[in-house]
Amino acid sequence: MWAPQQEKESVEVNDRSYDERVCDVLIIGAGGAGLRAAIESHDRGAKTLVVCKSLLGKAHTVMAEGGIAAALGNVDPKDSWEVHFSDTIVEGQHLSNWRIVEIFAKEAIERVYELERYGAVFDRTPAGKISQRPFGAHTYRRLCNIGDRTGLELIRTLQDQVVARGVPFMDEVMTTCLFRDPKTGRAAGALGIDIKTGKLLLFRARAIIIATGGSGRVYQVTSNSYESTGDGIGMAYRAGAELMDMEMIQFHPTGMIYPPGVRGMLVTEAVRGEGGILTNSEGERFMSKYDPKRMELSARDVVARSIYTEIMAGRGSKGGGVYLDISHKGADHIKKKLPSMYDQFLAFADIDITKDKMEVAPTVHYQMGGIRVDPETAESSVKGLYAAGEVASGLHGANRLGGNSLSDILVFGKRAGDAAAKSATAVDLPSVDSKEVEKEISRVLSPFSSTGSANPFHIKEEIASNMWAHVGIVRNAVDLEAGLVEIERLRKDAKGLKAVGPRAYNQSWTDSLQVLDMLLICEAMIRSALERKESRGAHTRSDFPAKDPKWLVNIITVQEDGKMVRRTVPVSTPPQELQRLIKEDD
């Protein structure tokens, strides 16, 4: 089993050779969406290959804490998919695609039971059913959970299923570019780097699913993992796919602020779900001013803005956040329901949350926008190219409800896997233009031959601080324009990006390539944010503070003749029978 140290094949830095891998369905990304897609595609008989940037089982899904939202009605029998549908539409500020939300709310229930049949172990009600906890802006107790470790359970369960089925996967492979058939325009393949060795790989497939997650790392204060750099969005955009709602970035209300090295680390909403109370420096339970009915369990955009407002008004905590207190629930309850939070504060901040208050402030958490997809099949505007999970758009609108992302990845991971496998059997293997491959290889290897000296780690830091400073919770035209100027400056710097050292496991190389897509994504985010001249959900403009019905549109970003262009499309109105389900709170 444990092979002794073997001599690794060394790759010269300018080696242009590549290995070719052919499959029916190529899945890029192995978080919940990618793994669920892999199971479906494999079970439908398609020759499936999964590639992912980190080690198998380390994707950002592992960080999800609170639970999976699905209207099982185990704790509140009045809950139903119809109420879940309404909550999602209303809190998404009517920017979601109604059909995507309908499919989601209906199918989430079966996906949870299916996950249990795959071997996931959820917390139980006294009657032995899956337990459900309350969460922000969900009408009923709806989040199926495993303490505050729901994402770990989800990814491990799906990973075990993939391994047991023998679905081929290659971990620590970073894809850099998608290729399209020169005649039909269908997605045809991808270029990849085997990070472990530095060797190049050419993937050819009949269908491709992108499940690479979001791009939270473009912000300085973020709960996102290292790998959340939005490569999938960048690749899809460069291949001509439409992006949507790129201005919609979720700021989670509660991230750690101290010590500096862990700033942004997530403090799960489950703390408030379990009864946690937010106070300012005057000891005031300030949510009573902003949402007296729902208090701490208001929608994430509302709580994040409220905390921001308190801090800006000088009523922040010592460390520059606000206080979050759960100690009144008692040590036993806290250690059982929030074990990770207890460990996290003790290990990193020397704070015992069973006795003391936490200090928290908003942190970038989720990207509502992304690749525009068809509701039924998750296919993008490029034929044969599918997207599922955080990388896709249309479900969460202007604000995502907690717990909806885990059901999202199960529902649309499955749908993407199904549709991709079906379409793969109906087409011949698309061709890849070898000139394009050679061009991409030159681009990918250019950081090694660069005569510049730009450091990718520094540029990443500059991108992140620029976005935090200019494209934050509350935006305005002046800041956004300044942010755009800075992105243009950094793009010039990025021309001199330099990779140092050999090809194997070279982060100065892979990070250099990530920087280029991060700059693209930032540009799309800022330009969309400038365009939306209103405040809606997570997008708050101090120069346009009101919500404007004129802006019931989705902003589409697409590349045309090498230029980034935008157009708006009206949000489609749900049919009468669904319209009737929507219950406005205010």
Partner 1 sequence: METHASAQPDQRKTIRLRILRGTGERTSSPHYDTFEVPREEGMVVLNAVHYIQSHLDPSLSIRWNCKAGRCGSCSAEINGRPQLMCKTRVDSIEGEITIEPMQAFPRLKDLVTDVTANWKVAATIPPFTPKANAGDIYTFYQADVDRSREFRRCIECFLCMDVCHVIREHEADYMGPRWVVKAASLDMHPMDGLNRSKFMKDAGGLGYCNITKCCQEICPEHIVITDDAIIPEKERVVDRHYDPILWVYRRLKGGATAGETK
Closest C-alpha among 268, 356, 359 to residue 316: 359
* Cβ distance to partner 1 smaller for residue 468 or 551: 468
Q: 107-127: string of b/e by CB count within 10 Å (b at 16+)? A: bbbebbeebeeeebebbeeee
* Cβ distance to partner 1 smaller for residue 113 or 313: 113
Q: How many amino acids of this chain bind partner 1 (CB under 8 A)?
A: 73
Candidate residues 13, 262, 553, 582; the one interacting with partner 1 per rule CB under 8 A: 262
Minimum CB–partner distance for residue 584 and partner 1 (Å): 33
State the Cα–Cα distance between residues 174 and 512, nearest whole angstrom.
12
Which residue do the tokens 């800022």 mark? 526
Q: Which helix (H) or strand (E) holds 18?
A: strand 18-28
Q: Is 577 in the site for partner 1 (CB under 8 A)?
A: no
Q: Is 290 in the site for partner 1 (CB under 8 A)?
A: no
Q: Is 77 in the site for partner 1 (CB under 8 A)?
A: no
Q: Is 124 in the site for partner 1 (CB under 8 A)?
A: yes
Q: Is 164 in the site for partner 1 (CB under 8 A)?
A: yes
Q: Is 11 in the site for partner 1 (CB under 8 A)?
A: no
State the Cα–Cα distance between residues 321 and 314, nearest whole angstrom.
10
Contact by Cβ (8 Å): 30, 52: yes
The phi and psi torsions of 166 (rounded to 5 degrees) equal 70, 30
Q: 343-360: string of b/e by CB count within 10 Å (b at 16+)? A: ebbeeebebebbeebbbb
Q: Is 465 in the site for partner 1 (CB under 8 A)?
A: no
The phi and psi torsions of 251 (rounded to 5 degrees) equal -100, 115
State the Cα–Cα distance between residues 49 and 208, nearest whole angstrom.
10
* Cβ distance to partner 1 smaller for residue 477 or 504: 504
Stretch that binds partner 1, among 59-67, 135-143, 272-280, 411-419 (CB under 8 A): 59-67
Of residues 546 through 575, those in contact with partner 1 by CB under 8 A are none
Contact by Cβ (8 Å): 178, 406: no
Closest C-alpha among 233, 227, 237, 229 to residue 171: 227
Minimum CB–partner distance for residue 73 and partner 1 (Å): 12
Of residues 334 through 363, those in contact with partner 1 by CB under 8 A are 340, 343-344, 347-349
Q: Is 152 in the site for partner 1 (CB under 8 A)?
A: yes
State the Cα–Cα distance between residues 44 and 34, nearest whole angstrom.
15
Q: Is 121 in the site for partner 1 (CB under 8 A)?
A: yes
Catalytic site positions: 252, 272
Minimum CB–partner distance for residue 130 and partner 1 (Å): 8
Q: Is 319 in the site for partner 1 (CB under 8 A)?
A: no
Q: Is 364 in the site for partner 1 (CB under 8 A)?
A: no
* Cβ distance to partner 1 smaller for residue 8 or 16: 8
The phi and psi torsions of 284 (rounded to 5 degrees) equal -85, 135
Q: Is 41 in the site for partner 1 (CB under 8 A)?
A: no
Of residues 217 through 246, those in contact with partner 1 by CB under 8 A are 225-227
Candidate residues 14, 77, 78, 127; the one interacting with partner 1 per rule CB under 8 A: 127
Burial class (CB in 10 A: 0-12, 13-18, 19+), 449: exposed
Closest C-alpha among 345, 418, 349, 399 to residue 103: 418
Contacts of 579 (CB under 8 A, 6+ apart): 573
Cβ atoms within 10 Å of 547's Cβ, excluding its own: 15
Candidate residues 23, 27, 50, 62; the one interacting with partner 1 per rule CB under 8 A: 62
Q: Is 447 in the site for partner 1 (CB under 8 A)?
A: no
Candidate residues 15, 160, 356, 462; the one interacting with partner 1 per rule CB under 8 A: 160
Of residues 474 through 533, those in contact with partner 1 by CB under 8 A are 500-502, 504-508
Stretch that binds partner 1, among 5-13, 84-92, 173-181, 356-364 (CB under 8 A): 5-13
Q: Is 316 in the site for partner 1 (CB under 8 A)?
A: no
Stretch that binds partner 1, among 14-22, 89-97, 156-164, 533-541 (CB under 8 A): 156-164
* Cβ distance to partner 1 smaller for residue 175 or 554: 175
CA 308 remoteness from chain centre: 23
* Cβ distance to partner 1 smaller for residue 118 or 290: 118
Q: Is 28 in the site for partner 1 (CB under 8 A)?
A: no
Kind of pairing, strands 173-180 and 169-171? unpaired
Q: Is 450 in the site for partner 1 (CB under 8 A)?
A: no
Contact by Cβ (8 Å): 180, 156: no
Candidate residues 182, 259, 330, 575; the one interacting with partner 1 per rule CB under 8 A: 259
Minimum CB–partner distance for residue 267 and partner 1 (Å): 11
Candidate residues 450, 455, 559, 568; the one interacting with partner 1 per rule CB under 8 A: 455
